[in-house]
């Protein structure tokens, strides 16, 4: 009985090792099977971000902005901005067979990328304050600054084309 147990154990060990290595490889990066879903979800989040930013812009220059709408869009943008860095697991950029405009610089300069996401978050917070104080001028300035933080990140981290 004892010998059988040892033989079985020795036979299983290489499989266990391969399993463990696979688990390690996938923990820190996008597993091949999940990549299209990851990229699709990320692009859907950005579309939601785009809709919220447009909805804010539409309130600029009105004599009576809809302040509760402004507050809820700004809060939506804050949530999206805090989650943004998690939409980019290693291996989910260009060159992995999926159409994406996520540039390699995202993973080459992660701190700079995180700062760009933080800037978006800070600017959304400023818009939240503008909404709380019902200040149309602060809303205009804040929304423009917010839009610039989108462009600032896109210039550095979004590739021109989505083709791999």
Give first-to-last CA distance, the chain, whole Å. Answer: 56
The binder of ligand HEC chosen from 59, 78, 128, 149 (CB under 6 A): 149
Least CB distance to ligand HEC at residue 4 (A) = 52
Largest CA distance in the chain: 86
The binder of ligand HEC chosen from 30, 35, 53, 74 (CB under 6 A): 53
- Phi, psi (degrees; rounded to nearest 5) at 159: -75, 155
The answer to the question of residue 153 lying near ligand HEC (CB under 6 A) is yes
Residue 1 CB: number of other CB atoms within 10 A?
Answer: 5
CA separation for the pair 28, 118 (Å, rounded): 22
The binder of ligand HEC chosen from 30, 35, 42, 128 (CB under 6 A): 42
Where on the chain is the footprint of ligand HEC (CB under 6 A)? 39, 42-43, 46-47, 49-50, 53, 77, 84, 100-102, 113, 116-117, 120, 146, 149-150, 153-154, 157-158, 162
């Amino acid at each position: 009985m004892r010998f059988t147990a040892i033989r079985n154990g020795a036979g299983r060990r290489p499989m266990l090792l391969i399993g463990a290595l696979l688990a390690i490889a996938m923990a820190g990066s996008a597993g091949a099977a999940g990549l299209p879903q990851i990229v699709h979800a990320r692009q859907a989040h950005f579309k939601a971000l785009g809709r919220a930013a447009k909805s804010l812009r539409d309130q600029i220059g009105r004599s009576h902005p809809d302040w509760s709408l402004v507050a809820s869009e700004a809060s939506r943008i804050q949530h999206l901005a805090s989650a943004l860095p998690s939409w980019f697991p290693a291996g989910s950029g260009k060159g992995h067979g999926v159409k994406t405009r996520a540039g390699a610089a995202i993973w080459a300069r992660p701190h700079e990328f995180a700062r760009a996401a933080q800037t978006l978050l800070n600017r959304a917070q400023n818009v939240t304050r503008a909404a709380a104080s019902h200040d149309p001028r602060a809303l205009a300035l804040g929304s423009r600054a917010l839009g610039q933080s989108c462009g600032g990140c896109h210039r550095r981290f979004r590739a021109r084309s989505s083709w791999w």
